Structure 1
Amino acid sequence: MMDKLRLLEIFLATCDGGSFAAAAKSCGTDPSTVSKAIGRLEAQLALTLFQRSTRRLSITEAGRRYAATVRSMMQELSCCERELKQLNDRPGGVLRITCAVCYGHLYLRPMLQAFSQRYPAIQLDLQLNDLYVDLIENDIDIALRTGYIKDSRLVARRLSPMDFLVCASPGYLAKHGTPICADEFTQHAWIGFRIKQTQQLQPILLPDADGNYQPTALQPRHITDDGEAMAQLCADGGGFAQLPHFLAKEGLQSGALVSLYPYYRPPEPDNGVFAIYPKRDYLPARVRVFLDGLLEFLEAQGEGAHHTWAEQLTPLVSFRH
């Protein structure tokens, strides 16, 4: 007796092929078998799925609704089977990662040794690059980026918000004083950041007298397109810089930098650090375990999809509303 799953496969093949002959060819059987299978399915359902004539086969409204449900069910079953198979597969092969340079040095590199020891069958191919690359065209498994470009072929998973901190060195503040609001910055040196992708300067947002962040027109004394260089120039006393939290972290922990004001977080959905990867029915095991390891590492740093450690900082200057 033909099982139900086989009946459903033949039913979908008939829907797609438009005839018993086409379905028979797709399923590796003969038109008579297909016709009998459809008749058996209709008898079980007590429904007419196809209208038959000597010239054509037409699907009924009931057949269309049933096909949509069956197709969805079959896709879910197939996806589940692949995922279960992957759970039993040992993660391995080449894992191709592209990552923003600063984030790669400061966050990604520190986790890779432990990751490689845990998954010795995975070979890392790491590309540090601040320019966006086509993941599919370049056969990249995953990209770690600040912000993302909307692309229906890709999945963007937020790793954390990107919080900005206005920083300076203690030495600079001791020599030049601490500005209380944006209007007082005109007398101070500023370190600007040039975005490689656009060659534009990153906008500067500073708090007004009420602590609300506003775009501020300032002429930087120094400009760089390297985030780590910007943080180091700031720590060396070169002036103020508005640093992403991951660039400011090391300097704040060592005391080389001071955070002046409460963090600024740009509005969602585009703000943040994202893991971006091609849209697939299921993730290769090497990508899945890498994502799991990265999320575990970030959580240990006090970061998650909707929070960073910057929320816990006590700023040098606070504001009353």
Structure 2
Amino acid sequence: MDKLRTLEIFIATCDGGSFAAAARLCSSDPSTVSKAISRLESQLGLTLFQRSTRQLRITTAGQCYARTVRKMLQDLTSCESELKYLNDSPSGTLRISSAVCYGHLYLRPLLKAFCRQYPDIRLELEISDLHVDIIDNDIDIALRTGYVKDSRLIARRLSPMDFLTCVSPDYLKNRGVPDCREDFNQHHWIGFRIKETQQLQPIFLPDDKGEYQPYELERTHITDDGEAMANMCADGLGFAQLPHFLAREGLNSGELVSLYPCFRVPQPDSGVFAIYPKRDYLPERVRVFIEFMTKALAGMGESPNHTWAEQWKPYLSRH
């Protein structure tokens, strides 16, 4: 019998005044109660009850011990109730880690509405492209591009990651429109260096059948910051392949055009994911955040299998 159960029997014996009464309170039997009290006395080296054939009387040591045990059980119950409330209600601190570009361009603009809807949730927001261990760093949920293969984690896809081959209208006006992928060798290209691997992001261009294939091009300029890449592209420094969440603002404003229809990297694990620790009881603050993000993205034309970029009309189809 575990110690907590023994202490509960001890308090029931104090309150009931007999082993029989304690047995009824604990849904047990008098023999089990008597043995539990005897084991407790043996462990403590104290007599907690004076026994006779007619009555059970608590000793002075038993009274002192009962005060401490009663308070401990009350504190434990209070703590369990508070923790259950925090887990079952949208409240408490929500620690979010987000990839840099997605955090600035998609997440941050939504936070005001989220906090208005859930005023009892406090946010701790970490913006970084480094894939930190969210369990070791006590992070509730991470928004990441790409899939993390970790059996301790749940990865829920928020959307695919569609790429667009972007350029500024002024660049096309000054340098012309490439007719085929070989023509890109005569154009400027902005490359993206992945921070964790220090490798350049591959370039995919359509072949004669319109299927996207890797294509090796010299990068005129290179950056490891997605927003800088989009801004350099909008400033007319060359072509860039941007994920949909990075291209959206420039395309909507007209600072960028997409030369071709969007494409997805031929990789089954590609996408934008909400990643959180696997657990039996998901905190309500995490659940409502995922639900909020899903609804907000739906309003932007995005779902686990689609993005708005699929409907975007490419530059070449207009001219």
In the superposition, the TM-score normalised over structure 2's length comes to: 0.72
Residues 180, 317 of structure 1: 8 Å contact kept: no
* TM alignment of 1:68-87, pairs within 5 A: none
Which shows bigger deviation, 205-214 or 144-153?
Answer: 205-214
Determine the C-alpha separation between the residues in 1 that align with 2:88 and 2:287: 12
Compare CA radii of gyration and give the structure with the larger one: 2
Q: Residues 232-272 of structure 1, C-alpha deviation per residue, up to 9 Å, x if partnerless?
A: 00000000000000000000000000000011112353110
Counterpart in the other structure of 1:255: 254
Q: How many residues align?
A: 241
CA contact (8 A) 2:86 2:92 kept: no
Task: State the match for 2:296 in structure 1.
Answer: 297
Match of residue 93 from structure 2: 94
The whole-number CA distance in structure 2 between the counterparts of 1:28 and 1:270 is 53
User: How far apart are residue 206 of structure 1 and its match?
Assistant: 0.8
Alignment partner, residue 167 of structure 2: 168
Contact 1:96 1:124 (8 Å CA) reproduced: yes
**Matches for 1:33-182 after TM superposition, within 5 Å:** 89-182=88-181
Question: CA shift at 1:117, angstroms?
Answer: 1.0
Partner of 1:317, secondary structure, is helix
3-state DSSP of counterpart to 2:165: strand
User: In structure 1, what is the equivalent of residue 80 of structure 2?
Assistant: none
| In structure 2, C-alpha distance between the alignment counterparts of 1:272 and 1:250, rounded to whole Å | 19
- Determine if contact 2:227/2:246 at 8 Å carries over to the other structure: yes
- How far apart in 1 are the matches of 2:254 and 2:281? 45
Distance 1:86 1:102 in 2: 34
Q: Which amino acid aligns with 2:91?
A: G
Q: For the residues of structure 2 that align with 1:180 and 1:86, how far apart are their CA atoms?
A: 62
Give the CA deviation at 1:314.
Answer: 1.0
TM-score normalised per structure 1: 0.72
Change in Cα spacing, 1:301 to 1:137, as seen in structure 2 (3 Å) is same
In the alignment, structure 2 segments of 5+ residues that lack a partner are: 1-25, 33-83
The Cα shift of 1:220 comes to: 0.6
Report what 2:57 is aligned to: none
The whole-number CA distance in structure 2 between the counterparts of 1:28 and 1:143 is 46
Instruction: Kindly report the root-mean-square deviation, in angstroms, between the aligned alpha carbons of the 2 structures.
Output: 2.1
- Structure 1: how far apart are the matches of 2:168 and 2:239? 8
1:98 touches 1:126 (CA, 8 Å); kept in 2? yes
Once the two structures are TM-superposed, the CA of residue 316 in structure 1 deviates from its matched residue by: 1.7
- For residue 120 of structure 1, report the CA deviation from its aligned partner: 1.0
* Unaligned runs of at least 5 residues, structure 1: 1-26, 34-84
The answer (yes or no) to whether the contact 1:172–1:238 under 8 Å persists in 2 is yes
1:267-288 deviation line (CA, Å, top 9, x unaligned): 3531100000000112101001
Whether 1:286 and 2:266 are equivalent positions in the alignment is no
Kept in 2, the 8 Å contact 1:167–1:243? The answer is yes
> What's the counterpart of residue 228 of structure 2?
229
The equivalent of 1:199 in structure 2 is: 198
1:297-316 correspondence runs (5 A): 297-316=296-315
Alpha-carbon distance in structure 1 between the residues aligned to 2:243 and 2:216: 19
Distance 1:152 1:89 in 2: 25
Q: Distance in 1 between matches of 2:27 and 2:153?
A: 35
Partner deviation per Cα, 1:20-67 (whole Å, 9 max, x = no partner): xxxxxxx9968x98xxxxxxxxxxxxxxxxxxxxxxxxxxxxxxxxxx
1:98-152 deviation digits (Å, cap 9, x = unpaired): 0000000000001100111111111100000001000110000000000022000
Task: Tell me how far apart the structure 2 counterparts of residues 105 and 88 of structure 1 sit (CA, whole Å).
Answer: 28
Distance 1:226 1:29 in 2: 66
Q: Distance in 1 between matches of 2:134 and 2:28?
A: 41
How far is the alpha carbon of 1:87 from its aligned partner? 11
Aligned mates of 1:118, 1:210 — CA distance in 2: 49
User: What's the counterpart of residue 243 of structure 2?
Assistant: 244
- Specify the SS of the correspondent of 1:281: coil
Runs ≥4 residues deviating over 6 A:
27-30, 85-88
